[in-house]
Amino acid sequence: GAGVSQSPSNKVTEKGKDVELRCDPISGHTALYWYRQSLGQGLEFLIYFQGNSAPDKSGLPSDRFSAERTGGSVSTLTIQRTQQEDSAVYLCASRPGLAGSGELFFGEGSRLTVL
Amino acid sequence: AQTVTQSQPEMSVQEAETVTLSCTYDTSENNYYLFWYKQPPSRQMILVIRQEAYKQQNATENRFSVNFQKAAKSFSLKISDSQLGDTAMYFCAFMIPNAGNMLTFGGGTRLMVKP
């Protein structure tokens, strides 16, 4: 596709359930990022993938959060045993690689609501 | 660690007027990128303008310009001839190239352009 695609756009779940959020980056972009945006707040870095290198997981808030990127393209963010404080918009972004302008291209996000 | 501070949670401006959004950052690095991103209600983050730290000349993109003061670690955004479509959240962001490559965001400024 032309841009970063995220699904689902909105997800409502019950506390304790697992959720998966999907990100399809721009074709050819080797770098992929996940950020979390709580209501009215700035963006909190979660995880970063660059090519075949080991991901930078330093932003993951707990071991309930994990992410994978298959085949260097699509990424899935998984949240296990969801809690109410996990409610937020989860934004995915991609960029061509280490070179270039540094600009990140963002998707429209997945809004997660944990009841 | 790098930090980005936006001291104005909310601002408003009359249509066609000029408004300046403030941003300060803290880093010990000498080479870095600075960005302003816009987030309209659609949630998708859009790059407004970027500045490389080694460039002394302030970046300009049509009605948007920055005042980059490296010694003061200040990076303000000026929007001239404000339009209703400029209503959005604006985020200042910082990146060190080739060192993690993640964007560190400020808390955002909500801008309302009034007719």
Per-residue pLDDT of chain B (115 residues; tens, 9 = 90+): 779 999 999 999 999 999 999 999 998 888 899 999 999 988 889 999 999 999 889 999 999 999 999 999 999 999 999 999 999 999 999 988 776 667 899 999 999 999 9
Task: Compute φ and ψ for B52, nearest 5 degrees.
Answer: -90, 140
Give all strands (DSSP E) within B1-115, no chain letters: 3-5, 10-14, 19-21, 24-26, 33-39, 46-52, 60-61, 64-69, 74-79, 88-95, 104-105, 109-114
Report the C-alpha gap between A83 and B32 in whole angstroms: 36
Q: Taking residues A25-30, report their average pLDDT.
A: 91
pLDDT band of A8, cuts 50, 70, 90: very high
Q: Which of B3, B43, B90, B111 to mutate to test the interface with A (most CBs of A within 10 A)?
A: B43
Please tell me the distance in Å from A76's CA to the nearest CA on chain B: 18
pLDDT of residue B50: 95
For residue A1, pLDDT over 60 is answered with: no
Please tell me the distance in Å from B113's CA to the nearest CA on chain A: 18
A89 interfacial to chain B (CB closer than 8 Å)? yes
Query: What are B32-51's pLDDT values in tens digits?
Result: 999 999 999 888 899 999 99
Bridge-partner residues for B52, per DSSP? B33
Given a contact cutoff of 8 angstroms between Cβ atoms, the answer to whether B39 and B88 are in contact is yes
Task: Compute φ and ψ for B82, nearest 5 degrees.
Answer: -55, 140
Report the C-alpha gap between B60 and B70 in whole angstroms: 17
Q: Which of A104, A105, A112 to mutate to test the interface with B (most CBs of B within 10 A)?
A: A104
Report CB contact under 8 Å: B35, A41: no
Given a contact cutoff of 8 angstroms between Cβ atoms, the answer to whether B94 and B34 are in contact is yes
Task: Specify the 3-state DSSP secondary structure of A95.
Answer: strand
pLDDT band of A98, cuts 50, 70, 90: low
- Chain B neighbours among A 95-114 (CB < 8 Å)? 95, 98, 101-104, 106-109, 111
Query: What are A59-93's pLDDT values in tens digits?
Result: 999 999 999 998 878 999 999 999 999 999 999 99
pLDDT of residue B44: 87
Q: What is the 3-state secondary structure (H, E, C) of B59-85?
A: CEECCEEEEEECCCCEEEEEECCCCHH
Residues 6+ apart with CB under 8 A from B65: B49, B58, B59, B77, B78, B80
Given a contact cutoff of 8 angstroms between Cβ atoms, the answer to whether B79 and B18 are in contact is yes
Report CB contact under 8 Å: B100, A56: yes
* CB-CB neighbors (< 8 A) of B42 in chain A: 108
